Amino acid sequence: MSNRFPTKGRIIFHVDMNSFYASVEAAYDPDLKGKPLAIAGNPEQRKGIIVTSSYEARAKGVKTTMPLWQAKDLCPELIVRTPNFDRYREASRNMFEILADITPYVQPVSIDEGYMDITECADLGTPLEIAEQIQSKIKQELDLPCSIGIAPNKFLAKMASDMKKPMGITVLRKRELKNKLWPLPIDEMYGIGQKTAQKLQQLDIKTIGDLAEFDGYQLKNILGINGERLKNRANGYDPTPVDPDAVSIFKSIGNSKTLPNDTTDEQEINLLLYSLSDKVAERIQRKSVVSENIQIMIRYHDRKTITRSQQLHDYVELKDEIYKISSELFYANWGGSPIRLLGVTAQQLTEKDEITKQLDLFTYENEAKNEKLYQVVDDLSEKFGKDVFKKTVKNDTNDSVSTSFQKDFLDEFKRTRNPRSK
């Protein structure tokens, strides 16, 4: 029988694995420990983007999303490994198994971090003792470091886990906000991106404390409902529960890729759009959903980013449909400047089981006509590989990490183990 801590509120942990991919590689190969290590694509060609790096590499100025050539210039002794996703999945599963042994209330939010509600775990020790047990077990059994934030809600727990890395444990109480949280720069607040930070700084909101004390009505006028939510969080208020089922919720399916070099080459752009559309369609099929809205994202060489979407009159799920829409959106909105990143996202998803599609004669004839073709393509792809119909072109797919990896991992985690079943 679980025992509740003597508190009216909740006790929330945020467990954050430190430099996860690099730490997993160092656990697999102990010779890498204590050395500047980075995970990136195509290290032999000095191409690709830094996915993550060890703290030794960070001390030399190596940062996530930095081009590999730049990281090598900053740290010539940098050791580079290509991503090994199977290895990371296994380490993450093992980590979440350890968390689920403590409480059924575990909410993974990415492959390397998650929330825990330990309010009813008083029989296991004090909150600090439980955090030390978790940190020690993950280190001993997996040889991986983590930081843990302890707080009365998810937002404060997240902020606390960032305050001491690596291998830190930080308690953040509401009465400590003025001294611990409020002095932090506004762009270090969880939930505030670069654009929002710029808007807030224009209002002379430089710190989290400035945000906490700023006029709520003015914030709401400028940022909408998000302004009110951010002000509440700055004041230590976050009512969202730790929800073990939240991992199964998805509102969109998207893939993006950073190009190894900025480009205006239309052939390269078309191939990338087709590849992204193919990946989105594959995930749509795997999840048995359809989409009513397609969005593209274009990031230019100067990091200026735009998103454009098209509301559809019918459901789409096939790669050719998605590619047609995304390419039309792209060419209608591309300014001709060199492109650094492209993304394709299917939005407004509906499960196939929940819809009954009414086909008009034209749609029916087209779909009936193509049905056998689709089946042949699927059969041949199954037999000879999914690239059987693609042109033979140079396509450095390992240059970056697909944004779908963590989303797909969470879906798999939900299918293979419901934390409440423990």
pLDDT digits (tens, 9 = 90+) for 308-354: 999 887 789 999 999 999 999 999 999 899 999 999 999 888 776 65
Percent share of the chain, pLDDT over 70: 80
How far apart, in whole angstroms, are the C-alpha atoms of residue 26 and residue 87? Answer: 12
Residues of the chain with CATH 1.10.150.20: 178-234
Residue 339: what pLDDT?
A: 94
- In DSSP terms, 147 is beta-bridged to 16
Question: Cα 280 to the chain's mean position, in Å?
Answer: 16
pLDDT of residue 379: 54
Residues 6+ apart with CB under 8 A from 72: 46, 78, 80
For residue 303, pLDDT beyond 90: no
CATH of 178-234, one of 1.10.150.20, 1.20.120.350, 3.40.50.12280, 3.40.50.2300: 1.10.150.20
**How many Cα neighbours within 13 Å face the side chain of 37?**
21
Is 359's pLDDT higher than 70? no
Would residue 90 show up in a list of annotated catalytic residues for this protein?
no
> Beta-carbon neighbour count of residue 291 at 10 Å?
24
Which ranges in the chain are annotated with CATH 3.30.1490.100? 247-416
Show contacts of 192-195: CB within 8 Å, 24+ apart.
Answer: 192/230
pLDDT: which is higher, 381 or 206: 206
* Contacts for 140 with CB less than 8 Å, ≥ 6 apart: none
Q: Do strands 169-171 and 146-151 pair parallel, antiparallel, or not at all (unpaired)?
A: parallel
Please name which of 313, 273, 317 lies closest in space to residue 291, comparing C-alpha atoms.
Answer: 317
Task: Give the N- to C-terminal CA distance of the chain in Å, as an integer.
Answer: 14
Q: Please report the pLDDT score of residue 397 as a whole number.
A: 37
pLDDT tens for 366-378 read 544 455 555 555 5
Say if CB 99 and CB 114 are below 8 A apart. yes
Has residue 401 got a pLDDT over 70?
no
pLDDT of residue 258: 86
Q: How is residue 114 annotated by DSSP?
A: E
Q: 175: which 2 tokens?
A: 């009465």
Element (H, E) at 227: helix 225-234
Mean pLDDT of the residues in the chain: 84
pLDDT for position 416: 62
Integer Cα distance of 240 and 228 in angstroms: 15
Residues near 205 by Cβ (< 8 Å), separated by ≥ 6?
Answer: 186, 211, 214
Q: Is residue 25 packed enough to be buried (19+ CB in 10 Å), middle (13-18) or exposed (0-12)?
A: buried
State residue 143 phi and psi, 5-degree precision.
60, 40
Give me the sign of the Cα torsion angle 28, 32, 38, 42.
negative
**pLDDT value, residue 65:** 83
pLDDT of 7 strictly over 70: yes
Least confident range from 149-153, 238-242, 257-261, 294-298: namely 257-261
**39 bridge partner residues:** 52, 81
pLDDT tens string 210-237: 999 999 999 989 888 889 999 999 999 9
- The Cα 196–Cα 319 span in angstroms is 34
pLDDT recorded at residue 398 = 40
User: Quick check: 104 pLDDT over 50?
Assistant: yes
Q: Is 16 annotated in some ligand binding site?
A: yes
- C-beta separation of 342 from 269 below 8 A: yes
Q: Scan for tokens 């409480």, then name that residue.
A: 103
Please state whether beta strands 113-117 and 12-17 pair in parallel, antiparallel, or not at all (unpaired). Answer: antiparallel
The rounded Cα 219 to chain-centroid distance in angstroms is 27
Distances (CA, A) of 109 to 31, 90, 246: 31, 16, 9
pLDDT of 109 above 80: yes
CA distance 130 to 120: 12
CA distances from 225 to 150, 193, 200 (A): 27, 16, 15
Q: Single out the catalytic residue among 113, 129, 317, 328.
A: 113
Closest CA to 68 of 83, 84, 59, 80: 80
**Does CATH number 3.30.1490.100 belong to domain 247-416?**
yes
